[in-house]
A and B are shown apart, each in its own frame.
Chain A
Amino acid sequence: MARQYEMIMRHSRNSSGTAEPPRTDTRYKRIAAAMQKHQCRPDALIEILHKVQDAFGYLPMEAVRFVAREMRVPPSRVYGVATFYHFFSLKPKGKHNCVICTGTACHVRGAQAIVNEIQQQLGLRPGQTTADGKLGVQIARCIGCCGLAPAVVLDDQVLAKVKPGEMVETLRARVGGAR
Chain B
Amino acid sequence: MNEIVSIQLDGNELKVELGRTILDVCREAGVDLPVMCYLEGLSVVGACRLCVVEIEGSPRLFPACTTPVAANQAIRTQTEKLKRYRRMIVELFFAERNHVCAVCVANNACELQDLARRVGMDHVRFPYLFPECGVDASHPHAVLDHNRCILCTRCVRVCDEVEGAHTWDVMGRGHASRVIADFNEPWGSSTTCTSCGKCVQVCPTGALWPKAASMGNLRKEPGKIGELVAKRKLNA
Contact = CB atoms under 8 A, between A and B. Distances in A.
Interface of A: 61, 64-65, 68, 74-80, 83-84
B169 A61 contact: no
Contacts of B171: 76, 79-80, 83-84
A74 B157 CA distance: 13
Q: Which secondary structure dominates where chain A touches chain B?
A: helix
B182 A75 contact: yes
Contacts of B166: 74, 76-77
Contact of B180 (A61, A65, A76): A76
Interface of B: 160, 166-173, 180-184, 192
A32 B118 CA distance: 54
A75 B192 contact: yes
A74 B169 contact: yes
A75 B172 contact: no
A75 to B, nearest CB: 4
B131 to A, nearest CB: 16
A84 B183 CA distance: 13
Nearest to A65: B183
A67 B72 CA distance: 50
A60 B170 CA distance: 19
Contacts of B172: 83-84
A68 B185 CA distance: 15
Contacts of A64: 183
B197 to A, nearest CB: 18
A4 to B, nearest CB: 24
A4 B5 CA distance: 57
